Amino acid sequence: MAWRIWQSEKRKTTSVASARRDIVTGGIMVAATLLLIGTGGTVVSNFVAAMTGGHQAADQVLTTAVILNVALLLFGWRRYRDLQHEVEERAVAEERAQSLAASDPLTGLLNRRSLAELGAELVDTATAKGRGVAVLMIDLDHFKTVNDLHGHGIGDRLLKACATVIRDMLPQGALAARLGGDEFACALTLDRQSAGQIDALADALVNRLAIPFDLDGARAHVSASVGIARSDQDCTTVEALMRRADIAMYAAKKGGRNRMAWFDTSMERELQLRNAIEAGLRDGIPRGEFVPYYEQQIDLETGQLQGFEVLARWNHPIQGIIGPDIFIPVAEEAGLIGDLSTAVMRQAFEEAKSWDAGLTLSVNISPSQLKDPWLAQKIVKLLVETGFPASRLEIEITETSLFENLGLAQSIIGSLKNQGIRLALDDFGTGYSSLAHLRALPFDRIKIDKSFVLSMSENPESAAIVNAITRLGESLNLPITAEGIEDPGIIEQLKAIGCHKGQGWHYGKPMTVNQVRRLLAEHGMLLPGRAPAEPDPDERRHIFGY
C-alpha cells in the first residue's frame, strides 16, 4: 500500500512538472502566433510592393519579427512533439515498473506482495458470499538437482514450464504466484462443504508436475509437494492461510515428497516442538547440556569388557535425560550435528584417557558430517587437544552415508586411517549392503544391525543373514560386532557362528560417566587419580525418547 501511495505521489509530481512545461510552451506558441498574425500581413504586403517596383521597402524590424515568430512556432512545435514523446515513454516505463513490481519477472505470475494484496481481496469477497478460500503451497522436489545437472538456464526454463502448468490448471478467478526459488502458491475460492475439488486439483498438479519436462534436449525430472489450508473461524487472513499451507507443504515433504497434505493443528504443534528443540540445541550445546553415555562392548567368548560405544544424551535442565531419537534428527536438519558431535566426543576423549589402555571408544559419524571435507582434521584436532590415542578410537560409518558422495567419503576415511584410527561399517545388511564398499574402503570391522540380531531366535531368515555376514567377515578378515544383544540365547547362537564381539542391553543400558567410573574401578581398569564419583541424581531421572 505504501508503495502504491509513493507511486501515486510520484506520478502527481511528474504530471505537475510536465503540465508547467506544457503551459510555457503553449504560451510561447500563442504569443508567436498572435504576433505573426498582427505583423505578417504588413510585412508580406510591403515585400510584394517592393518586388513589383513599388517605392515602399519592407520594414526590416517587422521582417525580423516575423522571422523570429516563425522560428518560435517551429521551436514550439518541436518542443511539443518532444514532450509528447517523453510522456509516452514515461507512461510505458511506469506501466512496466508497475508490472515488474506486481509480478515475478521470470514466470509472469504474481509475486508474494501481489498475492498477499489480491488474496486479501479474494478472502473478503468470498466471505461476503458465504464461501471459503483455499491456499495451496507448491514446492518442487529435487529442483537443485536439475540446476546442478543441467545448469541454471535449464532450471529457469523448468520454472517457467511449471508456472505455465500451474496457471493452466487453475480455475478462472484463481490467483497464482511464484514466491521465490522453486516455491509457488495458489489461492482460490471454494464452497465450504466441497473440499473434494481442491483434493482433485492438488492431485492433478502433483501428477502433472511429476511428468518429465523436455527442455532444449534436456530431460528434467522433478516432483511437487503440495500443502493446503482453507479458511475457517480460526484462520481468516491470507497471511495465516499461507503460513498454514506452508506447514502442510513441509509435512508433505517429510512424508516422502511427491504428494499433497492438508493442514491440521497437530502439524503446528509438531513444528513448535521442533523449533523448541532447535532452540534448546543452540543454547544447550555451548552450555554443556549434551553429554556422552557409554554402551559396553563385550568379548562374547570371555565376557570381558573391550570398550564402549559413545552415545549422545541431552541432560535437559527441566525435562531430564532426553534420548537421541528426539534431538538428533533436528540437529541434522538444523546443521548443528557437527557441533553436537564435537562437544560429546571431546568429553568422551577426556574421560577415556583415565581408563585402562586396552579399552576402546566407538563413535558414530552421521551422514551429514561425512559431507564435511574437514571432518578428519577436526577429529584429529580433538585427539591432539585431549591427548586421547588415535589407536583406541573406532569411527562407525553407516552404509547409507556413503552413497551421496563416495569420493569425499573415501578421502575422509583414508585420512582417518592414515592417523591410525580404526573404521567400522555400521548397520551392515539393512538394505544398502554393497561388497564394493568393503573392497574400496579400508574398513577394519563390520557391525551387524540390531534388527537382525534381535530376531535371530524367532526368524530363520534373520539368523541366516547374520550367519552370512559373519562368513563374509571371516573371508575378508574383518571381525564382526553384533548389536542389540538382549537375550542370553542369542549370545550362544552368535558364538556358534563365529561372532566374537557384541553389545546390547543384556550387558546393561548405556551408562553415565559416573556409572562407568564405578564399573571400571570395580574391575581395576580405572587409572589412579580418577576416583569414582558418588551416584549422580541425574542418573535416576526419566529418560525420554530412549
* Residue 36 confidence (pLDDT): 56
Say yes or no: 199 and 79 in one domain: no
Pairwise CA distance, residues 61 & 41, whole Å: 14
Residue 460 lies in a domain: no
Q: How many domains does the chain have?
A: 2
Q: Which of 263, 284, 305 is the last residue of a domain?
A: 263
Pairwise CA distance, residues 314 & 326, whole Å: 9
Q: Kindly indicate the confidence band of residue 412, based on its pLDDT and cuts at 50, 70 and 90.
A: very high
For residue 9, pLDDT over 60 is answered with no
For residue 48, pLDDT over 90 is answered with no
Residue-wise pLDDT tens digits, 414-439: 999 999 999 999 988 775 656 777 77
For residue 542, pLDDT over 50 is answered with no
Residue-wise pLDDT tens digits, 317-350: 999 999 999 999 999 999 999 999 999 999 999 9
Residue 158 lies in a domain: yes
CATH number at residue 119: 3.30.70.270
Q: Which of 11-15, 143-147, 527-531 has the lowest mean pLDDT?
A: 11-15
Say yes or no: 70 and 132 in one domain: no
Q: Which of 102, 127, 160 is the last residue of a domain?
A: 102
Residue 412 lies in a domain: no
Q: Kindly indicate the confidence band of residue 34, based on its pLDDT and cuts at 50, 70 and 90.
A: low
Find residue 220's DSSP bridge partners. Answer: 213
Cβ atoms 110, 177 nearer than 8 A: yes
For residue 13, pLDDT over 50 is answered with no
Say yes or no: 236 and 156 in one domain: yes
Say yes or no: 147 and 254 in one domain: yes
Q: What is the mean pLDDT of the chain?
A: 85
Say yes or no: 70 and 171 in one domain: no
Pairwise CA distance, residues 123 & 235, whole Å: 11
What phi and psi, each to the nearest 5 degrees, are found at residue 381?
-60, -40
Q: Is 11 helix (H, G, I), strand (E, B) or coil?
A: helix
> What end-to-end distance do the CA atoms of the chain give, in Å?
52
C-alpha cell at 458: 524367532
Q: Show the domain range for 12.
A: 2-102
Residue 56 lies in a domain: yes
What phi and psi, each to the nearest 5 degrees, are found at residue 175?
-105, 140
Say yes or no: 21 and 41 in one domain: yes
Q: Which of 48, 75, 102 is the last residue of a domain?
A: 102
Say yes or no: 123 and 248 in one domain: yes
Residue-wise pLDDT tens digits, 447-477: 999 999 999 989 999 999 999 999 999 999 9
Say yes or no: 199 and 228 in one domain: yes
Nearest to 400 by CA among 444, 362, 439, 369: 369
Say yes or no: 250 and 151 in one domain: yes
Residue 185 lies in a domain: yes
Say yes or no: 35 and 154 in one domain: no
* Residue 389 confidence (pLDDT): 97
Residue-wise pLDDT tens digits, 63-102: 666 666 667 667 767 776 776 777 676 766 565 555 546 7
Residue 172 lies in a domain: yes
Residue 441 lies in a domain: no
Looking at the annotation, which residues are catalytic? Answer: 483
Say yes or no: 87 and 116 in one domain: no
Residue-wise pLDDT tens digits, 122-152: 999 998 988 999 999 999 999 999 998 899 9
Find residue 526's DSSP bridge partners. Answer: 355
Say yes or no: 138 and 39 in one domain: no
Report pTM.
Answer: 0.73
Identity of the amino acid at 467: N
For residue 6, pLDDT over 70 is answered with no
C-alpha cell at 52: 513589383
Residue 209 lies in a domain: yes
